[in-house]
Chain A
Amino acid sequence: MEAVKTTAAHEIHPMENVLRMDRIPHIWCPGCGIGIAVTAFAAALEKANIDLNKVAIVSGIGCTGRVAGYVKLDSFHTTHGRAIAFATGIKVASPDMKVVVFSGDGDLIAIGGNHFIHAARRNIDMLVVCVNNFIYAMTGGQVAPTTPLAAYATTCPFGCVEPPFNIPYLADSSGAVYVARWTALHVRRLTNSFVEALNKKGLSVVEVISPCAQYYSRINRLGDGLDMMRFYHDNSEIRHGEDTKNLDIGFQQKIIMGKFVDRERPSYTDRYQDWLKQRKVGM
């Protein structure tokens, strides 16, 4: 397909400021929710009133791992599960930077689970966006640490036998200061959460429940992307401040969304700067 040349000012894409238009079309399948999450994030970047030169985005591997490549920021597509570790290096070495990690559930919670809990414990000043599609999609639909019990995947042909992680609970108990969950249907609320989290000091986690209209949907016979969105519409409920223990997601059962945690705790950078001041006094 030939690229459409645009010259007139009104033809410029409204998000050209924050998206790499030279990389469009993107790789995501029709009906996928990752693009929606990126749109919400791009809108939040513009709303959050922050210097975009001072924001870095780091992704791991997988479908969501490709996000860093489409956002017009200093962006890094790194190794599987290690985006948070890479981002920690950026934040510690350059505390002025705002750091965002954008990756999937398999990447952040399975292979990257250790980095996830330790970044939350340290309260590294970063926003972690976890797009949860309940499956390893890029490799063709294997069971993930978020796959609901009894759901099918290529590596659990008789239904998932492993209880999934409840991501907000994991983030909350590890020390994250801001924890929210939305589905890809709730774009306005998701955008608002991104704006809040971008301006929050400490580690924020925003989980985005996203339809995988290919691998998760087909093997579980859930219809196309629109059908999955309709399911979110009919079966999700907003409960701000809900105890994160109650946020398990069962197979095709109600999804509880909202902002669950919003608290203050000194960030790693705060404590590190304090230590720097003290060591000056001590010299």
Chain B
Amino acid sequence: MKPDPKGVLTGSHQLTGNQACAEGALSAGCRFLGVYPVEPAIEVSERFLERAKAVDDATFVQMEDEISVLAAVLGASWTGKKAMTVTSGDGLSLMMEHLGLGVMLETPCVIVDVQRVGPGLGLPNRAAQGDIMQARWGSHGDYEIVALAPSSSQEMFDHMIGAFNISERFRVPVMVMADAYLAQQKETVVIPKPEAIELYPRRYYEGKPGTYLPFKRDGDYIPRMVDIGQGYKFHVTGLTHDDRGYPVMNEECQEYNVHPLVWKIRKYVDELVDVEENGIEDAEYVVISYGTTTRAANKAVEQARSKGVKIGHLKLNIIWPFPEKRVSEIAKKIKAFIVPEINFGQIVSEVERVCYGKANVVFVVHGDKGMEDPNDILVAIESVQKETQIKDGVLEYQGA
């Protein structure tokens, strides 16, 4: 399916990450934005509203808090409009209630988290990657989630389209984990012609009213949707439910209708995994990066290679689900992974879990000092070369 050309601002532009986010959303066919003002994400709403003048069916609402924002986004999604919200860490914390409802009602939507330093109010305009584990585990109960991590304005645009496509394909809320630096820096973004953009169309149930079962899983595990107002008169509930969407409170129903919330993603992990590999074939060491740390990692890998280190780079475009299989394969061939993050260690624990005993894992500690410094990563690479055997746990390097 091709996008409505009105939403696609074809051409080459200088855009901040936030602006690219709004453009990506409109290109992807997003027609409902619900927000509560929070730095550093506000610019997305402003850009969306400015551009929405040209898009007939674009709707917007600023709610009274982030709790109600995601509730409104879920409601809007059931009307057939692609819906999203954009927030930062403190807003994301409030959204966790409805992230769970969105997962349970299998409602497509996109949540952009422009990460800032926390906890609490933290530093509203400084970048961090502190919400990575919250994105994965923030709501209660067992579920799987999809989270993307853009590293440039261009990727912000591209990932927004990808996020909506995944969300419609798997009927799951999808997170886009941006950060304050990405949000505020201007870069060239090339927006293709509408014909060159492929959108995944929502898969509708087309039978007669009275025959629709909201949670009946087809062969591919993903139930079909209908829109509000089409006469199906369906019911859905956040309680454990049967195929009809009626509450049924027993373990059998939990297993039959709720466990697939996990399996429907795990079954398609290979399809979802999205990594970029550079120089892995002959590498002895591999840097794993995601989001804006990729930019520092690129520089560090380049410098290390010029010094003769056999080093590769694995960039995660999708962080959840974590690419276990690929990381495990690489771990068997190399001596160590080097993982820089703008936090005190989140994805690094996934890396350690997957490659335990196969390779060393080095974490480049980067608390809240701001943008990642390539030199810190370089020092970590140099230090780990002195390790002669595989150590238990994560090795930490404080950088230069």
Number of B interface residues, CB 8 Å? 45
B221-264 vs A, CB cutoff 8 Å, 1 = contact: the mask equals 00000001111111111110000101100000000000000000
Nearest to B97 among chain A residues (CB) is A79
| B64 near A90: Cβ-Cβ < 8 Å | no
With A79-B238, A82-B98 already in contact, the answer to whether A93 and B74 are too (CB < 8 A) is no
| A75 near B234: Cβ-Cβ < 8 Å | yes
| A78 near B71: Cβ-Cβ < 8 Å | yes
| A76 near B233: Cβ-Cβ < 8 Å | no
Name A78's contact: one of B32, B73, B101, B229 (CB within 8 Å): B101
The reply to whether the CB of A227 lies closer than 8 angstroms to some CB of chain B is no
CB distance from B59 to the nearest CB of A (A): 5
Between A85, A93, A115, the greatest number of chain B beta carbons within 10 A of the residue's beta carbon is seen for A93
| A97 near B32: Cβ-Cβ < 8 Å | no
Between B53, B67, B79, the greatest number of chain A beta carbons within 10 A of the residue's beta carbon is seen for B79
| B73 near A82: Cβ-Cβ < 8 Å | no
Name B74's contact: one of A74, A86, A97 (CB within 8 Å): A86
With A74-B229, A79-B97 already in contact, the answer to whether A97 and B79 are too (CB < 8 A) is yes
A215-238 vs B, CB cutoff 8 Å, 1 = contact: the mask equals 000000000000000000000000
| B235 near A53: Cβ-Cβ < 8 Å | no
Q: Which of A35-43, A65-73, A128-136, A161-169 contacts B (4 or more CB under 8 A)?
A: A65-73
| B98 near A93: Cβ-Cβ < 8 Å | no
A-chain residues with CB within 8 Å of residue B74 when the two chains form the complex: 78, 86, 89
| A74 near B61: Cβ-Cβ < 8 Å | no
| B61 near A69: Cβ-Cβ < 8 Å | no
A-chain residues with CB within 8 Å of residue B75 when the two chains form the complex: 58, 76, 85-90, 93
B-chain residues with CB within 8 Å of residue A93 when the two chains form the complex: 31-32, 59, 75-76, 79, 81, 83
With A69-B247, A77-B238 already in contact, the answer to whether A94 and B53 are too (CB < 8 A) is no
With A93-B83, A96-B229 already in contact, the answer to whether A114 and B65 are too (CB < 8 A) is yes
Nearest to A69 among chain B residues (CB) is B235
Nearest to A70 among chain B residues (CB) is B235
Nearest to B241 among chain A residues (CB) is A77
| A79 near B98: Cβ-Cβ < 8 Å | yes
Name A82's contact: one of B31, B34, B68, B239 (CB within 8 Å): B68
**Residues on B facing A (Cβ under 8 Å):** 31-32, 34, 53-54, 59-61, 63-65, 67-69, 71-81, 83, 97-98, 101, 105, 228-239, 244, 246-247
A88-B63, A97-B228 are known; give 18 further A-B pairs, CB within 8 A: A53-B230, A54-B229, A56-B228, A56-B229, A74-B78, A74-B229, A74-B232, A79-B97, A79-B238, A85-B71, A86-B72, A88-B61, A88-B72, A89-B76, A94-B76, A96-B229, A118-B64, A282-B53
Can you name 19 A-B residue pairings with CB atoms under 8 Å? A53-B229, A53-B233, A56-B228, A72-B233, A74-B233, A76-B105, A76-B236, A77-B235, A78-B74, A86-B75, A88-B63, A89-B72, A89-B77, A89-B83, A90-B79, A92-B32, A92-B61, A115-B64, A283-B54
